[in-house]
Chains A and B, each alone.
Chain A
Amino acid sequence: MSGSGTAIERRPGIIRLAMRLRRTQIGVGLAGFLVLVALLGPFVAPYGSTEFVEMPNTRNAPGTVFGTDYFGQDVLSRFLFGGRSILLLAASATAIGLVLGASLGLLAAYNRGRLDEWIMRVLDVILSFPQVLLSLLVISMFGPSRVLIALTVGFSTTPRIARVIRGAAVPVVERDFVAAAEAIGEPRRRILFSEVLPNVTSSLLVEANLRLTYSVGLIAALAFLGFTPSPNAANWGLMIQENRNALTVQPWGVLLPTLALALLTIGTGLIGDGLSRVSAGIDRSGDRG
């Protein structure tokens, strides 16, 4: 990035500042641990993700640590396999939302006037759909494929990100270095991405974190409702749904994925709080997915 004209005051980066806070450290620890479990779990799982091991819902099945689930599969192995797809889908959805949302937000802030009005009005319509609803609407017609889940969750995130980035970019657009860039005839794309964008990175970072937290929850919730890319795939959300009826006899099938999702979202939530604490003027505490 060539944000050379923007070096008005050099402060330590907000990531480094945030990392000095205890809450961010705990958050990174929690989220990092669960990301590791989700990504590396499949390699250390003792059984296959859909392998029949013992009688269903047996807590002390021989050869297992946490017993078997509703279908006689190893709970630990299902758990170790079950985070990867949620995490990857949530990360792709957030990336899609960030790229689209940031581009639209910057475009609206820079152009103002009619284009701004149009972009924000159209995004308002998407905003009228709770995120779960939009995803369900699309899934009902096209089925829960991987690409589609990432795309719809990404799209439903876009207007939320665009609003924030637009808000952060409006004051930046009015500053002198943007006028200077216009004067020397820099193309619009360069002005947006090399001049304006580097000045809204704090907002972008906080927003990315917030949206990732919500996307994990949303994608796991869709799985909980039964919408996963493949029907019997190991998935934390789906595991909770599958093993819910046996909670009194074999709680592990629900406990492990619930704890994992809780600690993962708490971890990213703590990181987000740390980030917004060190970036002055960004308070997203009242915001909602």
Chain B
Amino acid sequence: MRRPPVRAAHPRSDSETGMPPILTFILRRLVLGLLTLLAVSILVFVVTQALPSDPAKAILGREATPEALAALRTEFGLDRPLLVQYLSWLGDIVRGDLGTSFSTQLEVADYIAPRVGYSFFLLVVGALASIPISLIIGSYQALKRDGRFDTGASLSTLILAALPEFVVGTILTILFATTVVQWLPAVSYFEEGAPPWSDPLGLVLPVLTLVISITPYVARVMRAAMVEVLESDYVEMARLKGMDERTVLWRHAAPNAVGPTFQVIALNLAFLAGGVIVVERLFNFPGIGSALADAVVGRDLPVVQFLALVIAGVYVLTNLLADVGTVLATPRLRTRLG
């Protein structure tokens, strides 16, 4: 869920600074985003290092030898005051010193870097596939309102929106990769160091899962926005002027409907930052999601901490882009600012 776009609609116009209001607005959102990130880092630190009564024991388990416990305490400086621990932890991360992964013994940066690429690729392909599909479905529903297509699509999006992603992915696996037909591989497979597009068949099901879990939401909002726009005075006006339907649709209606949809697209992309954890695990996709799941099982603290920051960071960034994008994409808001 997101803050209502209303807040984005009333940025204080800053006449003293002489900056264009739109820039002031972006700057303010940027500062707010950075503050949120800082708070996010505090939360990650509190949960992983400050809350557990003895983090060393929480990580190594009850059977750990005293020497191992002592070594871990020294490595993380757990005997120091919490504020000092937090500042040095944050300082290390900012300087790019992410520590060593407990379970793989690799530098966290070396372990995570290639996986970020895989996840990013998966997300981008999923987004690029689902956004046009959902915008088209939503607009077409609005055009043929209450027709057969609209009713069918409404019901399907309602049903698909309710399903958890891993259930969607499992159903797809049953249908296309195992029990019913075996057209597609049930898991993706990559040679060491191969680029994420080297297994296109293996990408189909993970991408399809992402598409199915985003499309219903975006299509439903696009439909609602489009219905509203099509009933508006300016569309009526354009029609009365005798413009042909296609111009009315693409020049007048669609641009105004995309604004509200933008927020929901961003929200869903941000949601996917978490959703990939399960989807990657389901299809053995070697991205940051499966790395996080592994790290949680192995209590690999440096990896967990860093990936939590990365995923929450993506979330904050996407929301920030959404706020700015909504203002830019909504003609009404843009003129108010400019």
Contact = CB atoms under 8 A, between A and B. Distances in A.
Range class of the B interface residue count = 35 or more
Contacts of B281: 224-225
A286 B3 contact: no
A247 interface: yes
Given A125-B39, A255-B174, A269-B159, A139 B275 contact: no
Contact of B52 (A133, A141, A160, A216): A141
Contact of B277 (A132, A160, A254): A132
Interface in B168-224: 170-171, 173-174, 178-179, 182, 186, 217-218, 220-221, 224
A240 interface: yes
B283 to A, nearest CB: 11
B221 A285 contact: yes
A270 interface: yes
A226 interface: yes
Given A258-B170, A258-B174, A218 B47 contact: no
Interface string B257-293: 0000001100110110111011001100000000011
Q: Is the interface of A mostly helix, strand, loop or mixed?
A: helix
B167 A132 contact: no
Contact of A142 (B52, B165, B224, B264): B52
B162 A286 contact: no
B220 A285 contact: yes
A67 interface: no
Nearest to A252: B179
Contacts of A254: 170, 174
With most chain A CB atoms within 10 A of its CB, the pick from B3, B162, B174, B221 is B162
Given A140-B296, A142-B52, A247-B178, A221 B162 contact: no
Nearest 6 A-B pairs (CB), nearest first? Answer: A130-B274, A269-B162, A217-B164, A286-B221, A247-B178, A285-B220
Interface of A: 23, 120, 124-133, 136-142, 159-160, 163-164, 167, 213, 216-218, 220-221, 224-227, 237, 240, 244, 247-248, 251, 254-255, 258, 261-262, 265-266, 268-270, 273, 283, 285-289
Interface of B: 1, 3-4, 36-37, 39-40, 43-44, 47-48, 51-52, 55, 58-59, 158-159, 161-167, 170-171, 173-174, 178-179, 182, 186, 217-218, 220-221, 224, 263-264, 267-268, 270-271, 273-275, 277-278, 281-282, 292-293, 295-297, 299, 301, 304, 308, 311-312, 315-316, 319
